[in-house]
A and B are shown apart, each in its own frame.
Chain A
């Protein structure tokens, strides 16, 4: 592609791309992000390539990033009608091509919920109740082809921004009310302004894509599916702040995101959207991709900066904030992936448009990863202020297995568990904090009666004690002690006074830790004690785990009424703990049982129960 030297050339390129594409032509968009691939989307792509050989003039395929509806993967959306087919197998592909050419619908491949079929994306409950301003373009874009982004108006916001003064751009972002999507929720416009005001010629931009919260993957999906939206946001930020170098710090665990964003940067450079004299202007801007090395603490901005500098990722005291003294001691603006992805839209559609979405203090939409024990799992983009109930039941479709949903965990390891009674809470920064959790990066993990809240608290304490960098004592030692106490409780060795000790420890760690990791680490434990004290008492007083999770407190038994004596459990038991003659009810020798639960996994008759 020839290098562009002005926005007029970009506009004519866009026109050319649009003209070369027939809007009525059928395009089959195949969702193929990391989780789609894990579910076999690569085979679906291959099958489509073969199936369309003879009808290439009538339909084409587009391999895209994730469409967000993870439990429907592998899935396709057929444009222009936007017909959605779910959970595909390679055998389905020729049938889809045939039906599409005839203008027919395949009923058993469409989404059905409560015995009702939904053919088009706009009708499907999972999508209908969302507002996909950032994620909505994913199905339209092959992330390895910059033309697709340009075709949907990509880099138009950059053009518009260049017609504004840098101060005006910052003002626009400030007026929109955009707040950081990485967790802390700092005003983005204000951050930019502070960085812009710093003295000196050298300033940096960093995109924090070290999405470390287990259970959150919207940043991965954006970088995989629409990397140019993030790059465009960074360019606008760099232009308004006066930075010439940018860095995207991506988790090493996201190979596809690294690949796609690297390709996107190369293509943007080729077109002259990055590099020296961007679009023929006196503005130089380049972006480097740097891979993380597997440290959760790198989500903290000063730790991330140390990591780029080649040091141990240990946070430091703030102030000075990175906006004043960041990478290599220079003023540095750090925003999260989703924050940058919001920027082009705000410039394009205006601050008012953005500020009209959401609540008084939390504007715009937010992407959540809705996972766990919910029917429709996936990436969900909703306006701020929507209630948890709407997200879990209207978008998520409620329980995945008919069991009672009892809580939702938000905010990752720094967040907390919110009980069902509070599901009418609006989702915004303040409400979640008030309830003892946080917005965080947007993980929403739905839990049902099979989830033990003490075990979850222990899980997060264990995670955080392992990820603590070790610099400050309250975090390093305190979380470790909390974990040990929780481990005792889950092993039936807990004492009633442990609860008070946990609360005391938690409050000290929150008050005295150096960085965000320690300051929020006790949230999970404290919120679970606050809302699920009865579960703690069951473990401590009755030595029972009501959810049947904590190994030392449970016992596997075989229901002799249901057991058919098929012998499958006996053959699979790694501890030779199951006895019984063929076609006779079996039983478990408790002394030998290692409580691995494999018997329960393999039993076809539901005869193995946990007591």
Chain B
């Protein structure tokens, strides 16, 4: 899939050269931080690449490798934890065949955990592609993933 490259100049201007928001825009655009873009950022901001790399690897929301089409995020906040969030991670991980933090080889799914989404009262919470699901259980998570898989397969058939 060809990536539409973003207008880095404009992005740097918009953020007055502040590194973290610039990297956030890049992350949002490409769903990861491509090496060549990071080099360009370092160049344009006149920063050593090691500093840009240092920031890119420090924060949780940046990734140096591409993420999948569907992003499944399981909240591991305290309230979710005591209501069994770890069991949901295990179930999702088993169902997808990847560990938390990994992206499936076909680039269809990424499984992530987050420290807290602040939806503590409805936990355990799972976010799939920006949509929030409260009061999750392992069986519900499995059903959710199965329906996404089916959607993907149907899309595949239509393409063929």
Binding site for B on A (CB under 8 A): 34-35, 37-39, 70-71, 73, 211-217, 220, 251-255, 290-296, 307-308, 310-313, 369, 371-373, 377-378, 409, 412, 443, 445, 447, 451, 456, 459-460, 463, 467, 469, 572, 574, 596-598, 601-602
Contact = CB atoms under 8 A, between A and B. Distances in A.
B18 A214 contact: no
Given A456-B78, A596-B87, A601-B139, 13 more contacts: A37-B132, A38-B132, A70-B120, A70-B122, A73-B122, A214-B77, A217-B119, A251-B118, A291-B21, A295-B60, A310-B17, A378-B121, A456-B82
B111 interface: no
Interface stretch (B51-59, B64-72, B151-159): B51-59
Given A214-B76, A253-B118, A371-B121, A308 B18 contact: yes
B58 A253 contact: no
Contacts of B125: 38
A605 B21 CA distance: 52
Nearest to B18: A310
B16 to A, nearest CB: 9
A597 B84 CA distance: 10
Contacts of A292: 59
Nearest to A40: B134
A369 B120 contact: yes
A137 to B, nearest CB: 20
A447 B55 contact: no
B133 A293 contact: no
Nearest to B140: A601
Contacts of A220: 118
Closest 3 CB pairs of A and B: A70-B121, A310-B19, A294-B60
B55 A215 contact: no
B21 A290 contact: yes
B60 A412 contact: no
A73 to B, nearest CB: 7
10 contacts: A38-B132, A39-B134, A214-B78, A214-B79, A217-B116, A254-B118, A308-B18, A311-B19, A596-B90, A596-B138
A451 B120 contact: no
A598 B91 contact: yes
A485 B80 CA distance: 24
A33 B64 CA distance: 32
B116 A598 contact: no
Interface of B: 17-21, 23-24, 51, 54-55, 58-62, 76-84, 87, 90-91, 94, 114-123, 125, 130, 132-134, 137-139, 142
Given A215-B77, A312-B54, A293 B122 contact: no
Contacts of A456: 78, 81-82
Between B20, B94, B114, the greatest number of chain A beta carbons within 10 A of the residue's beta carbon is seen for: B20
Given A372-B82, A602-B139, A253 B117 contact: yes
A212 B116 contact: yes
A235 B120 CA distance: 31
Nearest to B130: A255
Contacts of A460: 78
Contact of A215 (B20, B23, B79): B79
Contacts of B94: 574, 596
Contact of A214 (B61, B87, B115, B139): B115
A292 B115 CA distance: 14
B122 A212 contact: no
Contacts of A572: 139
A601 B20 contact: no
Contact of A598 (B18, B58, B133, B138): B138
A216 B58 CA distance: 23
Given A293-B62, A295-B60, A443-B78, A597 B54 contact: no
Contacts of B142: 598
A582 to B, nearest CB: 20
Contact of A34 (B76, B91, B132): B132
Contact of A451 (B51, B61, B82, B133): B82
Contact of A409 (B59, B78, B91, B134): B78
Contacts of A369: 120-121
B73 to A, nearest CB: 9
Contacts of A217: 116, 118-120
B119 to A, nearest CB: 4
A313 B59 contact: yes
A197 to B, nearest CB: 29
Contact of A459 (B18, B21, B24, B78): B78
Given A451-B82, A459-B81, A596 B91 contact: yes
Given A443-B78, A447-B82, A572-B139, A38 B134 contact: yes
A401 B125 CA distance: 19
B24 A295 contact: no
B76 A290 contact: no
A34 B132 CA distance: 9
Between B17, B84, B118, the greatest number of chain A beta carbons within 10 A of the residue's beta carbon is seen for: B118
A499 to B, nearest CB: 23
A270 B110 CA distance: 41
A215 B83 CA distance: 12
Nearest to A217: B118
B121 A35 contact: yes
